[in-house]
Amino acid sequence: MKYTTLNTIVNDLLLIVRGSKIASSEIISKRQIEDWVHQYRAILIARHVDKNNYTNPDFIQEIPKLALELTDLGGEFFYSSVLNLPKTINRDVKSGYTWIGTSDGKELQLVPQHRAFWQQYKKYTPNDNICFLKDNKLYFKSNGIPISYITVRGIFENPMEVGRFINPETSLPYTTLDSPYPIPVTMLEGLKQMILSKELKIEVSAPSDSKNDSSHGVSDNTEKEFKA
């Protein structure tokens, strides 16, 4: 399957900038371009979902082993995520989380916080598998079964925030600048053109990278060329 990385996208844009006529006093950093890429990706995804009512799997990222800890909320103990979850791109009234569940495939339904506290008193569904968000952390009860990790999938506003989560088996982050960037390759051209025209006022055709390997000859000193 063909994919691209954030490094590839940023270097492609820097190459175009280097060949354009931008004032030498213009400060253009890789970090700024990264932020623009995340911003316009979010815009394109929101438009796509609103128009098609369909979630492309290429939008989705996974945190397969989200670490948990026991937390006391108002005298009741819940499992909660150790780290805050990344902000999602919400879809109308639907959450941007596409799946939350345990390692054995048991799905947890995301519900409002108040429902989680009253669930145990429901006559027919006291043991439903539910979870809720509070202050960007995920909470749920495990019905007495000890659990250390759960899996979370979602459409995150800033894909690089998934890099805050570490795979306990490899001690490596789940995403890096060289990981597959969660956007379909069919959207890349539009994303680059939006950044070039709206942020840099450049109207040019972006060069294609048939190998998708960032080998356009953009050196590590490219940023310095645009700093006075």
Distance, CA of 205 to chain centre: 27
pLDDT at 129: 83
Between CA 96 and CA 154 the distance in angstroms is 6
Residue 152 gets the label, from left (phi > 0), alpha (psi -120 to 50) or beta, of beta
> Please, what is the angle between helix 30-52 and helix 6-18, to 10°?
110
- If one counts every other C-beta atom within 10 angstroms of the C-beta of residue 228, the result is 7
pLDDT at 90: 78
Beta bridge partners of 173: 166
Structure tokens at 222: 């490219």
Give the tens place of pLDDT for each residue, 101-118. 988 888 999 988 877 666
Q: Helix count (H) and strand count (E) of the chain?
A: 4, 7
pLDDT at 127: 61
Between CA 113 and CA 172 the distance in angstroms is 32
Give every strand in the sheet of 61-73, ordered side by side.
97-101, 149-154, 61-73, 76-81, 137-140, 130-134, 109-110
- If one counts every other C-beta atom within 10 angstroms of the C-beta of residue 10, the result is 23
Single out the residue of 178, 214, 182, 176 nearest to residue 41, CA to CA. 182
Distance, CA of 40 to chain centre: 13
Between CA 203 and CA 19 the distance in angstroms is 12
Give the tens place of pLDDT for each residue, 34-49. 999 999 999 999 999 8
Q: Print pLDDT tens along the chain (228 aa).
A: 578 999 999 999 998 888 776 554 457 889 999 999 999 999 999 999 888 878 899 999 999 999 999 999 888 889 999 999 999 997 766 789 999 998 888 899 998 887 766 665 555 455 668 899 999 999 998 776 788 999 999 999 999 999 999 999 999 999 999 999 999 999 999 999 999 999 988 875 544 444 455 444 433 333 333 332
